[in-house]
Structure 1
Amino acid sequence: MTAATHFPSFPAGAEAAESADAVLLGLDPEQREVATTLRGPVCVLAGAGTGKTRAITHRIAYGVRSGQLMPASVLAVTFTNRAAGEMRGRLRSLGAGGVQARTFHSAALRQLQYFWPRAIGGDLPRLLERKVQLVAEAGARCGLRLDRGELRDVTGEIEWAKVTQTVPSDYPAAALKAGREAPRDMAEIAQIYATYEQLKRDRAMIDFEDVLLLTVGILQDRHDIAEQIRSQYQHFVVDEYQDVSPLQQRLLELWLGDRDSLCVVGDASQTIYSFTGATPDHLLDFRTRYPNATLVKLVRDYRSTPQVVHLANGLLAQARGRAAEHRLELVSQREPGPAPVYAEYADEPAEAEGVAARIRQLISAGVPAGEIAVLYRINAQSEVYEQALADAGVPYQLRGAERFFERAEVQKALLALRGAARSGGNDPLLDDVVELGSQVRAVLSSTGWTAEPPAGSGAVRDQWESLAALVRLAEDFARARPGATLADLAIELEERRAAQHAPTVQGVTLASLHAAKGLEWDAVFLVGLTDGMVPITYAKTDEQIEEERRLLYVGVTRARHHLTLSWGLSRSPGGRATRRPSRFLNGLRPGSGALAPRAGAPATGPVAAGRGRARRSPARCRVCGRTLTEAGELKLLRCEDCPSDMDEGLYERLREWRAARAKEQGLPAYCVFTDKTLMAIAEAAPGEDGELASIPGVGVRKLDRYGADVLAICAGQEPGDGAGGDA
């Protein structure tokens, strides 16, 4: 999945290493410039598929073969063991096997183990492989019980605090400033963090972040040790430099000292890990720190066809922000291929079935299953594709996640559903609950399910999404089989579990967009591309939205030849088609019209003044600015085909409430509020009477009759008893 990028041919092994010039054979002009610029600071801006690893390994090999670099004096660092291993293998094949190629943590741990007895004395504390158990104990010491999802998220917050060099007492202020979506009260997390650190000290243990922190501390305090390291390592190469954290940058600075023999390689447009503390600022500020730096841009894309590259360039052309100002315009070096396919489906299951059918066609046409990938935004989306591929007889493998039915929260939920089914209706949870979907929601509430998703991202949100997928499965099953019972559903779920647990050989890769970073396939399917998923609904700020765009860019650039982008208009068969294609595809997919303005841009024209009815100028779409004429569009204050920021959960709650009020009053549902008005309310989520009254279709009379209920629902509360007006 990573070795098939089409670069110019190059003689490998000992033959290639016979002379320094032989190492340069087959490099393009920009790669050759990287390889031959061995002195002073060098910054390589390398787009996706442009051969950055090839350029820097040949640079090191050329320096070694020409006698300008001693192998033992070079330290090449990257971010994953897989990448470091690949780099070592390439260096060996080029005759530079003595060069150290390691991750930041691996290099720091070796130095810490060697210098600890001299700097601190005694044995190095034991390395804590997994933090979760100790974080759980720290929580218990603080009187706080964390479930499995909260444990993972709190652990992530502790890791973020440490890589940004934030001490426990400063965590709440730092997290607020950084806009972190904390899984618990920030003061509680700070307390757990402090207790966790104390437990480690009491037990003479260190974690992976401590490896970097302690190495930094020793190098800052012991100049003799710092000088010894600097005397050994005189030349540094850093791959994926856009992903460095402040702590890793500090360690790199201490390794360097006052020297500037540093080559960094990165692409700000592939910064997708800011939630872990990574920042592209060090890459973008490189020439400010080193005004005499050599800058080389690698833009020749050897991975993807011109059609794929054109789409990738178009996606970034819409981007805003600092990273976008440094975007690279890629130029494909491959023969033309098929145009990217945009596929719209009625619902998610239809989308999955369509993708599975297309994958079968590709396999029949000779594309190996192992060279095909289905990429989605969150792991909870995998289930419907696992099922569709299993039904189609296509082998698959999941990357970076457990299979849907192997997830702990899903197994717990299945156990609860089987137990409720065996009770034969005698479960007190199900008293007076007849409809199957409601029964499932009632049972899953005992396993942590709530109608409302938790705020933010992280493990708690992942668990909720898995249970939400089970609820959707139950609702779809109930529609397909009216009168089905919990026992029938339990049998159906067991059959699905068995189908998805069938042993698989090399097969189609199912992975999240984050897990796909650094990989490539002949055919890529980017699925579920709706607003609310890409960008994800909890991406609120401009920078968060732009990181979601970069994530989609990473997905597009994984494809060598075939690329399909798809979305479903509703969640399930028969559902309302309220979803819209991702705003990132505006102006790119056929028929999508002009590009929308950037997310978060200030409204212009009459929209900026509010939603009041009295307008002297024509009403304009609040997304694209087009003049509105249709009644439905005037209610929404946007074009029908412009992306919606509607809260679907709120919309469904409003529909349920409307149905109840209409039945109570003996009126058609549209007499309470029309669908368009409900959509406008769900998009605006008003918080007070004035905001609700200004929405077209509400007005004074309906505000008096229904306003209190609607505002309560928008606030996440239960509506009143319906006594707010006469029928």
Structure 2
Amino acid sequence: MGTSVSPRIQLLPDELNDEQVAAVTADYHHHILVLAGAGCGKTTVLTRRISYLVENGFETSSLCALTFTRKAADEMALRVRAGIKSDTGVPLIHTFHSFARSILLDTIDGKQNFKRIGFDTFPRLLEGPDRWQMLANVTTKQQRRLYNLDIVSLDNLLAKFEVFPECIKGITPEKYAYLKSIYERFAEEKKSESLWDFSDMLSGCLELFRGNGSILNHYRAAFRAILVDEFQDTNPLQIEILKLLLGDTIKLFAVGDDDQAIYGFRGADIRPTLEFTSVFPGAQIVKLQINYRSSRAILDYANKIFRHKDAVYRKVLVPGNKGIPFSNKPQKKMFDTTDLQIAWIEKTAKKLLAETGIPIDKMVVLCRTNESVATVMELIAQKFIELSGIGVLTVHKSKGLEFPVVFLTDLEESIFPSYRLPHAKPVRSWIDFIRSLYKKRTSIDCDWDEELRLYYVAVTRAQRFLYLLSVKNKEMYNRLFRLEPSRFLKDGLTPQPPLRKR
């Protein structure tokens, strides 16, 4: 595993701030969690950590970095390659799924790992329409109708069940048992056809490690440190793989932000981040709070969102970029209709272009739902063509991005935060009225914490100007709804002042 050497920091670049230096040079004999606030340079810290470990005696082949998308992995590899000051190559840099796949493809002692978990030939990837067809084959239309599930909604439920069964809430025990039986039949069918999906790569890797101690020890001997980006987005399968692989000697360096954990609907589990020192004994926590993205006015507003959090995890973002020009405080605005909202966005975007020089194609409209994205884009194409290049994205799609001007829409109750109001039965008689008085009130099905984190992500996309917009009368699903402003707006924002010149 190599010998311990005294830490060397002479090759760290001058542009790192004190918080980043503390994170990069944190004791590599301990597990480390870097709580990186929005816009605080987490990718820089992670890639510089790799350079730091190499300069302190770690072989690049003993390092493994894991992230969630191919794009993020490629970007990390480019930065690492530029940061390592020797000809030692780069460490393994994978998405979690490609890492698991590479393990299962590997051959040890003349036997391929995928054969150790019951496959005769290397499985082909099952996705899209082929996956739906197989789901249709292992269920009946009558069963799906009984539980009010079409193929797509069943697929979505199964995808969560495969990685995090505990996160499936709001269904009856009978429906849960039905889902479990489908999962088991589906798994058998996939294996018999030598097929797998992305979650099967993770569960297959986990099965391999749990059932083959010598194989697990082979991979433990290969690594000295494992680094994970976007740690808050890990699911239980990924955490179990990490825990088994780490053993007692390999140390974890995790970078993430619990305030930006917004993928619970996909099976991500925030608990290992919030309980990091319990899940990984002896761990240390470092914070990054110097933000290089947003103006002070926007950061002051963002800091209010989680002002009641426990001090251990609360981050207070401060501006580190002295070059950000003047910006107003975030402004809220309400409209009668979506058409009036888009007309105001067009007028404001043109005014900002004239007064600040910010091009319209650098501005963005953020929406909570895909339906709203489609509506906004259709209105722009039909009626507001002077908006010719403004971005229109869901908040989820905007994560990791930044924009000088953000128009945040969908800020209405039941839209953002997103939930469905329970349907009340009509009162047709005095008996119905009396029953309604004693009937237990149905709670609203909503992950309030995740919705608030999603709002925080939206707010922290803005660099200079942030507009918080809601509509009173909104057309959805071919019906017109009258909506209340989102509870997220109830924070005493000031009326909109006039813009200042550059």
- 1:23–1:94 contact (8 Å) kept in structure 2: no
- Which residue in the other structure is 1:98 paired with? 90
Question: How far does residue 541 in structure 1 lie from its aligned partner after superposition?
Answer: 5.8
Paired position in structure 2 for 1:372 = 363
C-alpha offsets along residues 136-172 of structure 1, whole Å, 9 cap, x if unaligned? 333244322779x9322211211211112x5xxxxxx
Matches within 5 A, 1:90-129: 90-95=79-84, 97-115=89-107, 117-119=111-113, 120=115, 124-129=121-126
Does residue 51 of the first structure (1) align with residue 41 of the second (2)? Answer: yes
Kindly indicate whether residue 223 of structure 2 is the aligned counterpart of residue 233 of structure 1.
Answer: yes
Q: Distance in 2 between matches of 1:187 and 1:253?
A: 29
How far is 1:213 from its partner?
0.9
Q: What is aligned with 2:347?
A: 357
Cα distance change of structure 1 residues 189 and 287 upon mapping to structure 2, 3 Å threshold: closer
CA-to-aligned-CA distance 1:368-413 (integer Å, 9 cap, x gap): 34422111111111233213322332466xxxxxxxxxxxxxxxxx
Q: Deviation per CA, 1:235-281: give whole Å up to 9, x if none.
A: 01111111111100000112111125111111111111112221121
Partner of 1:566: 469
Distance 1:219 1:577, change over 3 A: closer
Question: Kindly tell me: are residues 196 and 577 of structure 1, through their superposed partners in 2, closer, same or farther at Cα, counting changes over 3 Å?
Answer: closer
Q: Which residue in 2 is equivalent to 1:216?
A: 206
> Aligned AA for 1:389?
I
Partner of 1:275: 265
Contact 2:67 2:228 survives alignment (8 Å):
yes
Report the counterpart of residue 144 of structure 1 in structure 2: 141
Question: Quick check: which one's strand share is greater?
Answer: 2
Q: What CA deviation, in whole Å up to 9, does each residue of 1:603-653 have, x standing for no partner? A: xxxxxxxxxxxxxxxxxxxxxxxxxxxxxxxxxxxxxxxxxxxxxxxxxxx
Equivalent residue letter for 1:189: L
Deviation of the 1:49 alpha carbon: 0.6
* C-alpha separation in 2, matches of 1:134 and 1:543: 29
Residue 190 of structure 1: how far off its partner (Å): 3.6
- Decide which structure has greater helix share: 1
Contact 1:270 1:550 in 2 (8 A): yes
Cα displacement string for residues 541-577 of structure 1 (whole angstroms, at most 9, x for unaligned residues): 69711211111110000111121111112226xx999
Aligned-partner Cα distance in 2 for 1:205–1:384: 38
Distance 1:289 1:250 in 2: 10
Q: String of CA shifts for 1:586-608, please: whole Å, max 9, x gaps.
A: 124237xxxxxxxxxxxxxxxxx
Give secondary structure in 2 for the equivalent of 1:22. coil
Matched residues in 2 for 1:373 and 1:181: separation? 37
| Residues 315 and 588 in structure 1, CA contact (< 8 A), matched pair in contact too | no
Which residue of structure 2 lines up, in the alignment, with residue 422 of structure 1? none
Distance 2:32 2:405 in 1: 35
Aligned mate of 2:70, from 68, 76, 81: 81
Contact between 1:306 and 1:333, CA under 8 Å: does it hold in 2? no
- State which of 529, 536, 558 in structure 1 corresponds to 2:411: 529
Matches within 5 A, 1:619-638: none
Contact residue 224 and residue 250 of structure 2 kept, 8 A: no
Deviation at 1:306, TM superposition (A): 0.5
User: Structure 1: how far apart are the matches of 2:129 and 2:46?
Assistant: 37
1:130 aligned partner, one-letter code: E
Conserved in 1, the CA contact under 8 Å of 2:332 and 2:489? no
Q: Which residue of 2 aligns with 1:515?
A: 397
Deviation at 1:195, TM superposition (A): 3.0
Distance 1:383 1:211, change over 3 A: closer
Q: Equivalent of 1:587, from 487, 491, 498? A: 491
Contact 1:43 1:286 in 2 (8 A): yes
| 2:375 pairs with 1:384 | yes
User: Which residue of 229, 237, 240 maps to 1:247?
Assistant: 237
Give the letter for the 2:92 counterpart. Answer: Q
Distance 1:542 1:199 in 2: 33
Q: What letter corresponds to residue 58 of structure 2 in structure 1?
A: L
**Residue type at the aligned position of 2:95:** T
Residue 180 of structure 1, CA deviation: 4.4
The answer to whether the aligner puts 1:345 opposite 2:335 as a matched pair is yes
Q: Which residue of 1 aligns with 2:278?
A: 288
In 2: Cα distance, 1:289 partner to 1:372 partner: 41
Indicate if the aligned counterparts of 2:126 and 2:197 stay in contact, CA closer than 8 A.
Answer: yes
Tell me how large the CA RMSD over aligned residues is.
Answer: 2.9
Report the secondary structure of 1:82's partner residue.
helix
Aligned length: 446
**C-alpha spacing 1:126/1:368, structure 2 compared with 1 (3 Å):** farther
Secondary structure in structure 2 of the residue aligned to 1:571: strand
CA drift of 1:194 comes to 3.1
Contact 2:65 2:93 in 1 (8 A): yes
In the aligned structure 1, how far is the partner of 2:129 from the partner of 2:289? 42
Q: TM-score, normalised by structure 1?
A: 0.57
**How far off is 1:191 after superposition?**
4.2
Deviation at 1:51, TM superposition (A): 0.7
1:330 aligns with 2:233: no
Separation in structure 2 between the aligned mates of residue 42 and residue 286 of structure 1, nearest angstrom: 9
Contact in 1 for aligned 2:411/2:488 (Cα 8 Å): no
8 Å Cα contact 1:352/1:385 also seen in 2: yes
1:311-710 counterparts in 2 under 5 A? 311-317=301-307, 326-334=313-321, 335=324, 336-364=326-354, 365-390=356-381, 391-394=383-386, 507-538=389-420, 544-571=447-474, 578-590=482-494
C-alpha distance in 2, partners of 1:569/1:138?
A: 41
**Equivalent pair of 2:403/2:462 in contact (CA under 8 Å):** yes
Match of 2:189 among 199, 203, 207: 199
1:40 equivalent in alignment to 2:37: no
> Which fold has the larger relative contact order, with Cα–Cα distance below 8 Å and residues 6 or more apart in sequence?
2
Cα distance between partner residues in 1 of 2:226 and 2:337? 51
Do 2:138 and 2:186's aligned partners in 1 also have CA atoms closer than 8 Å?
Answer: no
Once the two structures are overlaid, the 10-residue window that deviates more, 274-283 or 328-337, is 328-337
Between the aligned partners of 1:181 and 1:351, the Cα distance in structure 2 is: 37
| Rounded Cα–Cα distance in structure 1 between residues aligned with 2:52 and 2:23 | 10
Alpha-carbon distance change, 370 to 108 in structure 1, aligned in 2, over 3 angstroms: farther
* Separation (CA, whole Å) in 2 of partners of 1:102 and 1:141: 33
For residues 124 and 541 of structure 1, the distance between their equivalents in structure 2, rounded to whole angstroms, comes to 47
Which structure has the larger Rg? 1
What SS does structure 2 have at the residue aligned with 1:232? coil
Contact 1:24 1:32 in 2 (8 A): no
**What is the CA distance between 1:289 and its match in structure 2?**
3.8
Where in structure 1 are there 5+ consecutive unaligned residues? 1-18, 167-173, 397-506, 592-727
Alignment CA distance shift 1:295-1:186 (3 Å): closer
